Structure 1
């Protein structure tokens, strides 16, 4: 292992060429689970609280079947209690086997760790009958050698959970910055609001093709209906302003490591206006950077 330290927010992306095996460890309360969740969101196979004795078995499995498990992360920490005592020997055996792996050590200042434990109202796993600070001190002593030999030490003192997840994304995601996956859904108000919508827009202010005999049997997917809806007074202005208003929201979602959002566009029956507008909004949003868009029409075909 080669040591590099990342204190604060100066990050260098780690882009391995072969299957990646990462051991996440560090101080309790420093954010190991958050880091593991961030990797899992990007397609890593993650195992928490893995006994160190099993590291070799898992690493061998990953190296033999890189197509099945190209990226594997194991969280190993003092929750393993007596089993954790073998962490140094397990890592040395792993290195001697020739299997490529990296150790990420998460740390934070004592005062920050105390505050996090107090906020979570949980005892430190090593405090016993003493104070939280006693447990932290014991853990620092126990992990001192592991910290000094880690490939990456990440200080999370100044990071909230979203910033830590973003840091792990920058370091380990093959695709780089978070891509936000949007679903733009049309629906009919008479069938009820979508329960999973983050934003709901009402386009019932537009003229209804239902009242045009030749358009009534068609849907918003048909060009005649789409043209009728989108050239109506106020339609173009609405789409322009709505997409523009969503841009800072989507940027905020990415900063907060939110990966999915649903934007619902509703009309009376979910057949004409909402379908046409949802299609146009999807087309506009798909042009934004780091956004993938899926369009769904919940109530199309119900009339």
Structure 2
């Protein structure tokens, strides 16, 4: 007699609340999740959030992966979002908040290219609407488990980033982006941890090194052999260990470690590469090294 195989039902659904500033790419991220098999509900009024997730919690096999898009279009109901999230947590519904953001200049350009107003600009300028929205979303961004900066990514790169974060190997592995940047171009908006390496002698002032970057061996050797650099890297990586452990405890599975120098060309690039090598030696950590301002004048 042939036995009937037992179907193992999921004990709990994975729930993601997808939000962020208007124009930062939330719709693209939602489409990427949908392509990966998530059930996506877009522009859900916050009051409907808990009833929907309660339904999913009772029948997790029906919707094992649920993504809910919440944005400023529900602005009359938006103040109730925090209450809805707190109620979900109290009811035992585990969720993660994914927040998409970009710098003001990029957002303004995107709205201008699309020839559409910002939802909150009213009779003012696009930038007025962006600032009003940032104030409204500040607490939500601070509490988000994942913040994705789309300032320098196109729709295809954003979709790839979302796929990386939510790939089938699951969120057990802590995904780190070690990003070099130049302070003169501003802090990365998605940085979880920032290091300032402007104490290292600047190769910019050495004529034969100036045209090169921190990816070139001569610059890298100069930076990494400078007095204090190796000590800084050793202690910085050591200091990250309890931080990364805390991220895991708080269910934050994606983080950006930003390393800055003046222009983001020499020191921060070389040191970010070295920090990335050190972090890759840790277990359950996946590391990507990116250079935000490399190539800028």
With normalisation by structure 2, the TM-score equals: 0.52
1:169 deviation in Å?
Answer: 0.6
Q: Is the 8 A contact 1:24 1:105 kept in 2?
A: yes
Q: C-alpha separation between the residues in 1 aligned to 2:90 and 2:150?
A: 31
Is residue 2:101 matched to residue 1:107?
Answer: yes
What's the offset of the Cα at 1:173?
Answer: 2.8
Paired residue secondary structure (1:23): strand
Give the corresponding residue for 1:65.
59
Out of 149, 152, 155, the position equivalent to 2:146 is 152
Aligned residue for 1:33, secondary structure, equals helix
User: Which of the numbers 120, 123, 133 marks the counterpart of 2:117?
Assistant: 123
Native 8 Å contact 1:40 1:46 kept in 2: yes
CA RMSD of aligned residues (A): 1.6
Query: C-alpha offsets along residues 26-55 of structure 1, whole Å, 9 cap, x if unaligned?
Result: 100000100000000011100110001111
Q: For residue 89 of structure 1, report the CA deviation from its aligned partner.
A: 1.0
Q: Among residues 48, 65, 79, which one is paired with 2:42 in the alignment?
A: 48
Q: In the TM superposition, what are the counterparts of 1:251-270 in structure 2 within 5 Å?
A: none
Query: Which structure 1 segments of 5+ residues have no match?
Result: 1-15, 177-303
Determine which structure has more spread, i.e. the larger CA radius of gyration: 1
For the 8 Å contact 2:11–2:60, the answer to whether it is kept is no
2:23 to 7, 22, 29: 29
What is the SS of the residue equivalent to 1:82? coil
Partner of 2:83 in structure 1? 89
Q: CA deviation at 1:68?
A: 1.1
Residue 17 (structure 1) shift: 8.7
Deviations 1:53-104 (A, max 9, x none): 1111111111111111110000001101201121111111111111100000
TM-score by length of 1: 0.51
Match of 2:70 among 76, 84, 90: 76
Count of matched residue pairs: 161
CA contact (8 A) 2:46 2:81 kept: yes
1:172 is displaced (CA, Å) by 1.1
SS in 1 for 2:80: helix
Does the 8 Å contact 1:56/1:94 carry over to 2?
Answer: yes
Shift of 1:18: 4.2
Q: Which runs of 5+ in 2 are unaligned?
A: 1-9, 171-297
2:77 match: secondary structure: helix
Q: Does 1:136 align with 2:123?
A: no
Cα distance in 1 between the residues matched to 2:12 and 2:60: 8
**Which runs of structure 1 show a deviation greater than 6 angstroms over 4 or more consecutive aligned residues?**
none
Residues 248-290 of structure 1 deviation map (CA, whole Å, 9 limit, x = unaligned): xxxxxxxxxxxxxxxxxxxxxxxxxxxxxxxxxxxxxxxxxxx
CA distance in 1 between partners of 2:12 and 2:164 (Å): 18
- Cα distance in 2 for partners of 1:100, 1:134 equals 35
Q: Do the aligned residues in 2 keep the contact of 1:39 with 1:173 (CA within 8 Å)? A: no
The residue that corresponds to 1:248 in the other structure is: none
